Amino acid sequence: MTKTRLDSALAQAAARLPGPQPRFEAELLLGHALGRDRAWLFAHGERVLDADEHAVFGALLERRIAGEPVAYLIGARGFWSLDLAVQPGVLIPRPETELLVELALLQLADRGRVADLGTGSGAIALAIASERPQAQVTAVDISREALAVAQRNAIAAGIDNVVFRHGDWLAPLAGERFDAIVSNPPYLATDDPHLQQGDLRFEPALALASGSDGLDAIRHIIAAAPDHLVAGGWLLFEHGWTQGEAVRALLDAAGYVEVSTARDLEQRERVSMGRWP
């Protein structure tokens, strides 16, 4: 068989991969195939791949070209300062969600109590806990598979100030109150065509879609959160970029104060918040 150098394998792979980051994706896949990080790849461009390495990388490449998300193929995704394990069955953390973490940190005192509803891989809860090691973080998910992944991520990151609860939104938190409640809930309409495109085709529908207007989960959280917030506590959640006006109206109508929406790096309305008086 032909001898392929690592640098030319990367260039050939990048030329075949669709999407905006073909080179980066090729590096992630080859790094995974070789059990090495990207820095190692840069330093070993002249190394020749053996037949096994070639086969493993080739198989990953074909699966990626067929549409599988890179994060599921390599079992990991960076979020905040964390390298999180992910697998089919949990949402792949998105960079936009870091805005929610930043805004929550602004409101949260060192020893604050915060609940993350629908924690998935644990992205939000663990990012907050890593920045506020004295805070008491509670991570909730209805998916036991997601909770297992999130718990594994906490252990891997050495984070010990998060407790995990199984259940539907606030249901497992009876009698508990928090200084902040945060969530990146599902917010697509069930017939949103994006669900049939890209990575979303491979992600759990439960984590993505929520009713005919995408707002079922958000309506539920807005209604249920006041029983679990201290006076002056904050509710902050992510939503779709066209939903800002609708969610501010819902927050206002429910009696929250200081209602506002923050925009993401693309200047799209992305995170709304309100304070329970």
Cα dist from 106 to 100, 109, 202, whole Å: 10, 8, 34
* Cβ distance to ligand GLN smaller for residue 184 or 261: 184
* Cβ distance to ligand GLN smaller for residue 104 or 123: 123
Q: Minimal distance in Å, beta carbon 117 to ligand GLN?
A: 8
Q: Minimal distance in Å, beta carbon 71 to ligand GLN?
A: 11
- The contact set with ligand GLN (CB under 6 A) reads 91, 93, 97, 118-121, 123-124, 184-186, 207
**Residue with the CB atom nearest ligand GLN in the bound state:** 120
Q: Minimal distance in Å, beta carbon 181 to ligand GLN?
A: 13
Q: Are 41 and 5 in contact (CB under 8 A)?
A: no
In 118-169, beta strands by DSSP E: 136-141, 162-166
CA 194/CA 88 separation, integer angstroms = 18
Q: Minimal distance in Å, beta carbon 186 to ligand GLN?
A: 5
Residue from 170, 141, 159 nearest 235 by CA: 170
* Cβ distance to ligand GLN smaller for residue 186 or 244: 186
CA 178/CA 99 separation, integer angstroms = 20
* Cβ distance to ligand GLN smaller for residue 60 or 119: 119
* Cβ distance to ligand GLN smaller for residue 207 or 271: 207
Q: Minimal distance in Å, beta carbon 276 to ligand GLN?
A: 21
CB atoms within 10 A of CB 78: 12
CA 140/CA 154 separation, integer angstroms = 14
